[in-house]
Structure 1
Amino acid sequence: MDASPSPAAAPEPAPVPAPGYAPAPGPMPPPAPVPLFRRLAGPLGVMAAVAGAFAYVATVDPNEPGHYPVCPMLRFTGVLCPGCGGLRSAHAFAHGDLATALGANALAVIGYGVLAVVWLLWVVRVSRGRTLRIGIAPAYWWGIGAVLLVFSVVRNLPFGSALAP
């Protein structure tokens, strides 16, 4: 009888590590926590950009012609789009005139509020070490589109002239 071990019973040689590689002696430590300022860099950067945009619109009056381009839809079709009056609304909002801002574009003012709430939610979640994930179902996107369409149609009709800028 042969005393040599069978090929199935022979132990496999250990893999040779790459040069300069030493396996960790135990489990990997958790990653170091990210400092609060670094976590808040995204929300603070976005707020700085928004504040800069509002400061520019507050300084350069959109009510004076020649400072901003005309809305292409209004220029070529004569129809007010959902954004028409948005710069005038932002200008009035930046100066604290909420009534004029609502008169220029009420939907934009509502948008300012929604974006402020989302930004605040982002800051709170990031400061607690979480990420902000907003999952909006397609039905809501269709609803937002329907609101924009109805707003556009109504503000171009004679009885909806209060919504026109």
Structure 2
Amino acid sequence: MSGENQRVDASRTPERAPSAAPAVPAAIPRPGSAPDAAPGPAAGPVSRSRRLASPALTLAAATAALAYVGTVNPYEPGHYPVCPLFRLTGVLCPGCGGLRSAHAFAQGDLVTALGANALAVVGYFVFAGFMVLWLVRAYRGGRAPRLVMKPVYWWAIGVVALVFSVVRNLPAGSFLAP
């Protein structure tokens, strides 16, 4: 083979002798311990306005959405789509009446909001509590709250939504129907 493309046959290359010890990182973190910080420029303290940006923008987006629903009446046909489950089966899902509930809530009519979808009103208050916690922590320089729950709690939320949906479709639970 002169100066042309030379190929190396992997099966004919000499084997390397194994090294005495495999390469091991300098420090192996123990399970459950936090890894060391990556080398690089040290992060300085984050300004208060930077910490408040995410919760403030989230709150602004939620407020804008609630304001829109508060001004565009869901009782007038043609503004919002109909629930596909209700349209196909006539069964009220856990979210049915949520827009009417949000409209009444935005108008300050809590009784009508509860009548349209009580589960949604509970969700509004849970969201409000989470936002207050997030804003306070961001203002004080703490970490953002994390929504980490055990699977049993997620299952419990699902069961509550299912029971709510079944009860509101029964004659005895018609008071929960929108």
One fold, TM greater than 0.5? yes
Q: CA deviation at 1:126?
A: 1.8
Alignment of 1:1-165 (within 5 A): 30-128=42-140, 129-165=142-178
Return 5+ residue gaps in structure 2 as ranges.
Answer: 1-39
Return 5+ residue gaps in structure 1 as ranges.
Answer: 1-27
Q: CA deviation at 1:31?
A: 2.1
Q: Is the 8 A contact 1:126 1:132 kept in 2?
A: no
| SS class of match (1:65) | coil
Q: Which moved more, 1:131-140 or 1:93-102?
A: 131-140
How far apart, CA to CA, are the structure 1 residues paired with 2:143 and 2:157? 27
How far apart, CA to CA, are the structure 2 residues paired with 1:31 and 1:110? 39
How far apart, CA to CA, are the structure 2 residues paired with 1:153 and 1:95? 28
| SS class of match (1:40) | helix
TM-score by length of 1: 0.81
Q: Which moved more, 1:122-131 or 1:155-164?
A: 122-131
What per-residue deviation string (whole Å, max 9, x for no partner) do you get for residues 74-117 of structure 1? 00011000000000000000000000000000000000000110
Amino acid at match of 1:141: W
Between Structure 1 and Structure 2, how many residues are aligned?
139
Q: Is the 8 A contact 1:82 1:151 kept in 2?
A: yes
TM-score by length of 2: 0.75
Q: Is the 8 A contact 1:43 1:122 kept in 2?
A: yes
| SS class of match (1:103) | helix
Partner of 2:32: none
Q: What is the aligned-residue RMSD (CA, Å)?
A: 1.5
| SS class of match (1:154) | helix
Q: CA deviation at 1:29?
A: 7.5
Amino acid at match of 1:68: Y
Amino acid at match of 1:106: A
What per-residue deviation string (whole Å, max 9, x for no partner) do you get for residues 107-130 of structure 1? 000000001101111112222232
How far apart, CA to CA, are the structure 2 residues paired with 1:150 and 1:130? 35
How far apart, CA to CA, are the structure 2 residues paired with 1:45 and 1:155? 35
